[in-house]
Amino acid sequence: MALARRFLMQSSVAAGVLADPVLALAAFTMPDGRLWPQVKVGNVKDLEQSKPVGFNYPDEKSPAWLVKLSGAAYEGAGPDSNIVAFSAICTHMGCPVEFVGDRFICPCHYSMFDPAKNGQVYQGLASDYLPQIALEIDAAGDIQAVRMSGLVWGRVSDAPVRT
């Protein structure tokens, strides 16, 4: 039920009816004020459970994982709320996290993140949850990455550096 309620709230954000214009803007724009890139990262029919697919978001220097979990996830997309995407970089010291047995684990110092719980760092040395990437799925099953929540390790802004 709670998931459905949040979905409605998100829909209302999408419809632009949120009362707070600053928050509404933040939902659509990167820290530098540009719109978050909308990137197609896969299609529902191609996703196999617990088989992560790599992509980059919001730019090519930021690797990420798209994965269909075995159960519903916080902010999960899709009919079973089990499709999620996260930064693939550990928030501790920047090593690439691996998806093993329904959680992300860092090979360097063993920080572990729960993808069903907002990337919560439930064990290890990382202070920050794994940044989660919001997904939208259209009628054709195409999965779009639409926005980042949380700061990717090693950067001072998720927004791509302007050159």
In degrees rounded to 5, what are phi and psi of residue 123?
Answer: -160, 145
37 binds another protein (CB under 8 A): no
Q: N- to C-terminal Cα distance for the chain?
A: 45
34 binds another protein (CB under 8 A): no
Q: Work out whether 134 is an interface residue with another protein (CB under 8 A).
A: yes
Residues 91-120 that bind another protein (CB under 8 A): 91-96, 100-103, 105, 108-112, 114, 116-118, 120
Do the Cβ atoms of 123 and 110 come closer than 8 Å?
yes
C-alpha closest to that of 84 among 37, 126, 31, 130: 130
**Which is catalytic among the residues 31, 61, 109, 123?**
109
Amino acid letter for position 152: V
> Binding to another protein by residue 56, rule CB under 8 A?
no
Single-letter amino acid code for the residue at 25: L
Q: Which two tokens stand for residue 90?
A: 């550990």
According to the binding rule CB under 8 A, does residue 54 interact with another protein?
A: no
Please give the positions annotated as active site.
92, 109
Kindly list the residues in this chain that would bind another protein in the complex (CB under 8 A). Answer: 2, 10, 30-31, 61-62, 74-75, 89-96, 100-103, 105, 108-112, 114, 116-118, 120-129, 131-132, 134, 148-159, 161, 163
